[in-house]
A and B are shown apart, each in its own frame.
Chain A
Amino acid sequence: MTDVPEREEGIPGATASRTAPPPPHGASSPAGTRSRRPRPALIAVFAYTLRACVPARRRAVLVLPTLAAVAFGLLSQATGDPAPQAFSSVAGLALFGLIVPLACLVLGDAVLGAEVRAGTLAFTWLAPVPFPVIVVGRWLAGWAAAVGSLVPAAVAGAVAAGAPESAGPAVAGVVAGSAAYIAVFVMIGCTVRRAAVWSLALVFLVERLLGAALTGIAQLSPTWESQAVFNGYAEGTFDQVRDGIPQGGDAIVRLALITAVTLAVASWRLAHLRLSGAGD
């Protein structure tokens, strides 16, 4: 059964083989005689994800986090507290508790979960590419889009709050936090069918509700950990520090661990995915 009968190289009238020169019976094409350097799979997946899932005409939406951060930054000036402390208590909370999770949820779902639901993941899944490469490529694209959207938001929010010195810590928090968040949402995207609903439940029920009450959950929460990154580096955040949660660089390590574990789980889940069509 496993003997492979001989066949003509290249698809008649269609294309040529992967490695061999184009077949003599193939459609004549001067270009067919030249070799093509395919992009590495990781780069191809990354570029495809950015183009297909974060298309150009929707990139204007990436400005929304900046507008929201500026609004919260201006709002923090109304508290009467010193600017760094006001930014931490108002804009910081809004940034890490609302803007970062929601932006990452939208992007994280777009880079994988939406494709699973739409049925277009088949173009990637049915390729001889290791699953970790697919997952990492998509995560990198989502992270790049998140960083491109959230870093300006962090800087603009700090400036609008009158605390430009808090911009650096805020950027560190959103960069590390968005890496973990995108990984978590990629994992959810290839685990459950209604990824957006489960992601919202994770953010608002598990992280905000349970995480506010239980330090154990907060220690595994990108929201709390990314805010801990900010708290560790920024001034005037003493009232935001929670016992039992590492701050600054330690929180970055914690977020890196969350990222690595969730990406590993996502790769495993992707390998066991049951690909169905959009209509199924």
Chain B
Amino acid sequence: MKHAAPAPPAAGAVAPPPPATPDPALADGATVTVAAASVWFGAKVALSEVTCSFGPGVTGLLGPNGAGKTTLMRAMTGAMPVNSGAVRVIGRDPRTERSVQHSIALVPEDEAVPPMLSARGLVGYVADLHGVTDRGAVDRSLAAVGMLDAADRRVGGFSKGMRQRTKVAAALVTDPQVLVLDEPLNGADPVQRLALIELFARLGAAGRTVIVSSHVLHEVERLADRVIVLLHGRLAAAGGHRAIRDAMADRPRQVFVRSGEARALGAALLGLESTAGVTLADGTLVVATSRAGELAHALPRLARQVGARLEEVRPVDDSLEAMFRELTR
């Protein structure tokens, strides 16, 4: 697993005894803990000894299709047993202790909703099962996801985005401490996405544990303070997405450089051992490097040497998409 670890001390310095490095896969004040959890279906391993935890705030659970995100989320809520290892929600086993369901809510990915019920009927049913006594809770949860106007329509006639929002409302009405959202933005239009992202952020800021999986990675970048990356059922990385990216400095990265002397600068960059390649187009450079740190130090020096002025320098693949590409390479 890739950890976003702190930088090592400078060479030659007398290093104090190293403090215990906190495992970025483990959250402070964790409400959900996953300990060496494995899940398999026959010969197919969906989760393999995953250890991580989730605390207050928004955590993004990321990974390509088949990475095990949905399985992990279902295991967290007790909907799916783990074959080995353990999952605890507020210290209790969600699989065997029904009272845990007072504290956790799942918004599943699939579109399945009871088609004959209205949105209000579905949310009210969930409220009944959870013993919600607040009369306004149903309408407020529908309003929070922008579904109040359609509350009395049958959910069978809803679009995918409306179904997702209705399921989010059904989860919110139980006032859960832990909210597990499996691709909650699927089907939502841009305005609804923004509203949902803001809602989840508010929940996280209010001390709820919000766990969101999504394939819309740039939105998760905006939403999640912390990221857990799963690949092939294994924990691949954990931490802030930039920290994860920095921890992967030895992996190939691309850096965009705009300069008035692009050709000369590109030639100088090719002399660097860490430069894997340079692409020149329209006075700009895209530098491929296996050691971004070295490039960052060398670039200003080389620019001075060739008399070039650096107008813009930025990574071109500092996104989670790029992180996935590199992790899956």
Using a CB–CB distance below 8 Å, which chain A residues touch chain B? 1-8, 10-19, 21-22, 26-27, 29-39, 41, 44-45, 48, 51-52, 55-56, 115, 118-120, 122-131, 272, 274-279
Contacts and interface: CB of A to CB of B under 8 A. Distances in A.
Interface residues of B, number: 68
B175 A129 contact: no
A14 B173 CA distance: 8
B77 A44 contact: no
The 9 closest A-B pairs by CB, nearest first: A7-B207, A32-B136, A2-B91, A119-B112, A127-B129, A36-B135, A14-B144, A277-B110, A31-B136
Given A123-B114, A123-B170, A39 B202 contact: no
A21 B177 CA distance: 17
Contact of B135 (A7, A35, A126): A35
Given A11-B203, A13-B144, A14-B172, A22 B208 contact: no
B102 interface: yes
Contact of A29 (B117, B130, B133, B139): B139
Given A4-B90, A126-B78, 8 more contacts: A7-B56, A13-B144, A14-B140, A15-B136, A127-B129, A128-B100, A128-B131, A277-B70
A15 B172 contact: yes
A141 to B, nearest CB: 13
27 contacts: A1-B53, A2-B91, A5-B55, A7-B177, A11-B141, A12-B202, A15-B136, A15-B137, A15-B173, A16-B136, A18-B131, A18-B133, A18-B134, A29-B139, A35-B133, A36-B136, A38-B127, A44-B128, A45-B129, A51-B121, A55-B116, A120-B113, A127-B129, A128-B129, A274-B79, A274-B80, A277-B110
B245 interface: no
B98 interface: yes
Contact of A32 (B98, B116, B137, B177): B137
A8 B110 CA distance: 30
Contacts, number: 193
Contacts of B80: 274-276
B252 interface: no
A26 B144 CA distance: 10
Contacts of A129: 98, 129
B81 interface: yes
Contacts of B255: none
Contacts of A39: 128
B30 interface: yes
B190 interface: no
